[in-house]
Each structure stands twice: as structure tokens, then as C-alpha cells.
Amino acid sequence: MLDFYKLSGIGKSYTAKDGPLKVLGSIDLEIREKEFICIMGNSGCGKSTLIKIMEGIERFDKGEFILEGQPFKNGTSSKDIQKKFGIVFQNDNLLEWQNTYKNVELPLKVFGIKNVDTDKRVMDMLTLVGLQEYKDCLPKELSGGMRQRASIARALVTDPDFLMLDQSFGALDAITRKTLNEELLKIWHTTRKTCVMITNNVNEALYLGNRVLVMSNSPAEIIKEIEVPLSYEERTHDIGLNTVYLELRAQLNQIVRSIN
């Protein structure tokens, strides 16, 4: 699709006590359908602001936004636009008084989606993330990793075009995070959703991403783009032995250190 997803010259400032605080300088970004993009940068550089703009829930001050071939009007995010994005945050935001099934089902109710077999859709998503046996459990009965898997199922239940992950695994321990990376890669390969992930983890970015974009400090711009020419089959648990991966990791670490 021509201009499937494109940001051109996107800028954003916030009002501060001492005057405008410029967060995003001029962001140029194109995303191809079905690819997995990882975005990196220092804390406070504007990554979360950028992904909120990309999801259509944050206004931008300048620039042009093309979404699936159509200009996106700033600040006019309708339910039809919102349904295009499944969002997974660092905090799972599960409703503590609802079981796993009800939490995953919730977006179908919020968006009033009635033209699907609700039970089949919810159970398909729970099966996709390996939680079908935990559908009746409350969030407090799930581990941190299981809660995030429930969040991924909830984000996908409306069959969005985009899966957006804002440092979704940042609060998890290293072993759980590695396991979820492997599961997320399988989910992406199965669903072929267009994925955008904000992460501060070099290994995670290279394991998951087809491309890794690095942002400068605020006011942020994208200063480096790294293609990751590894097939799905090469992204195994022993990817750390792959020479291409090792070369890219050394390159990306050097870039990250240079902006500190």
C-alpha cells in the first residue's frame, strides 16, 4: 500500500513554566505493512510522546501524518481510528475485579463490535498467548508475565492493523522478559500485524525488530536506522551466537552510548 504509514516533519512542544518545551524536533518515519519496528532512545527523549502521536491519541504541532494512504487529521481520533491500534503499556492495566476472559473481551464491548463470534474470538486470543487454561483467573492470580500476555491478547482481540508496545516488558525480570520476547515474536509471525515497540533494551530491539530506529535527545529526531537482516528462523534462543546479530549489537551499543 502506498504510504501505508508515514510521518513527515512531525514536531511537538509542551507548555512549561519557562516557556514552550520542545520534545520532538522533526520526526520523519515510514513503516511498511507487516514489519516490526523497534524505537530506542534515552529516557525523557520523547519516545512515549512519539508513540502516542503514532496511535492518534496525542496531538502534534507540525508535520504530516499519513495513515493507510489517507491524511490523518490532527486531534480527530475516532473509534474507527482507535480500532486500528492495539496498545500494550508497561503497566498491564488489567481490571482487578474481572477475570482474564472478561479483561480480554473488554475492547469488543468498548468498541461495540458485534459482527464476530465473541467467545471464539476471545478464546482464540487466549490460546494465542497460552492463557486458555487461565481464563477464569483474576489478575492477582497471574504472574507478571502472564498479565502482560493477557494485555497482548486484549490488544489483539479487535483484530487491529497495528500492535503498539510502549516499553511493555520493562518492569519484568530478565528471564520473564526473554520468554515474552520469544512469545511475542511467534505472535507477530502468526498474526502478521504491523508492530511498533518502544524499548531501551538493545538485545530486545535486535531480536524482535526488522528495523531499529534510534532517537536523539530532546528535541528528538531519528538519527539512525538499522536494518536487521535476520529471518524469523534465525531468531532463536541462541541468537547470541549469530555473527550478524553480534555485529549489529556492537554497532547499536556504540550508537546508544554516543547519545548519552
- Mean pLDDT across 44-68: 88
Among 31, 29, 26, 27, residue whose Cα is nearest residue 2? 31
How far apart are the C-alpha atoms of 225 and 31, rounded to whole Å? 12
Q: Which three cell numbers stand for residue 26?
A: 522533526
**Does pTM surpass 0.75?**
yes
Domain 31-56+75-258 is found in CATH 3.90.1150.10: no
Least confident of 106-115, 137-146, 154-163, 218-227: 106-115
Tell the burial category of 120 from Cβ atoms under 10 Å away from its Cβ (0-12, 13-18, 19+): exposed
Percent of the chain with pLDDT over 90: 63
Cell matching residue 91? 503497566
- Res. 2 pLDDT band, cuts 50 70 90: low
Confidence of residue 75 (pLDDT cuts 50, 70, 90): low
The answer on pLDDT for 68 being more than 70 is yes
pLDDT of residue 46: 87
Secondary structure element (H or E) that encloses residue 231, with its range: none
> Could you tell me if 87 and 152 are in contact, meaning their C-beta atoms sit under 8 angstroms apart?
no
pLDDT bracket for residue 245 (50, 70, 90): very high
**N- to C-terminal Cα distance for the chain?**
37
Burial track 79-115 (b if 16+ CB lie within 10 A, e otherwise): eebbbbbbbbbbebebeeeebbbbbbbbbbeeeebee
Closest CA to 225 of 251, 189, 260: 251
pLDDT digits (tens, 9 = 90+) for 128-160: 999 999 999 999 999 999 999 999 999 999 999
Helix (H, G, I), strand (E, B) or coil at 127: helix
Examine the pLDDT at 102 and tell me if it is beyond 70: yes
What is the rounded average pLDDT for all residues in the chain? 90
pLDDT at residue number 27: 92
Sole residue written with cell 475485579: 97
pLDDT score of 83 more than 90: no
- Does residue 20 carry a pLDDT above 80? no
Report pLDDT for 118: 92
